[in-house]
Amino acid sequence: MLEVATVSLDEILNQIKISCQIPSVIEGILTRKIISQTAQEIGIEVEPEELQQAADNLRLMNNLTSADATWSWLQKHSLSLDEFEELVYYTVISSKLAQYLFVDKVEPFFVEHQIDYAQVVMYEVVLDDFDLAIELFYALGEGEMSFHEIAHQYIQDTELRRKGGYRGILSRADLKPEISAAVFAATPPQVVKPILTSIGAHLILVEEVIEPQLDEMLRLKILSDLFSQWLKQQIEPISGFAATFMEN
What confidence category does residue 13 fall into, taking pLDDT thresholds of 50, 70 and 90?
Answer: confident
Helix axes 22-42, 9-18, angle to 10 degrees: 110
Q: What are phi and psi of 62, to 5 degrees?
A: -100, 10
Rounded Cα distance, 87 and 93, in Å: 10
Three-point CA angle 21, 22, 25, nearest 5°? 85
pLDDT tens readout for residues 78-111: 999 999 999 999 999 999 999 999 999 999 999 9
Residue 203 within a domain = yes
Is residue 4 in a domain?
Answer: no
How far apart are alpha carbons 29 and 50 in whole angstroms? 23
- CA-wise closest residue to 127 among 139, 110, 117: 139
Cis? peptide before 177, omega within 30° of 0: no
State the residue range of the domain holding 22.
9-113+216-246
Looking at the whole model, is its pTM more than 0.75?
A: no
pLDDT band at 7 (very low <50, low <70, confident <90, very high): confident
- Burial code of 200-234, b = ≥16 C-beta within 10 A, e = fewer? bbbbbbbbebeeeeeeeeeeeebbeebbeebbeeb
Residue 1, pLDDT above cutoff 50 = no
Contact between residue 122 and residue 167 where contact means Cβ atoms under 8 Å apart: yes
Summarize the confidence of residues 112-117 as an average pLDDT.
91
**Residues 225/228/233/234 CA torsion (nearest 10 deg):** 150
- Span 143-177, pLDDT tens digits: 999 999 999 999 999 999 999 999 999 999 999 99
CATH number at residue 182: 3.10.50.40
Residue 1 within a domain: no
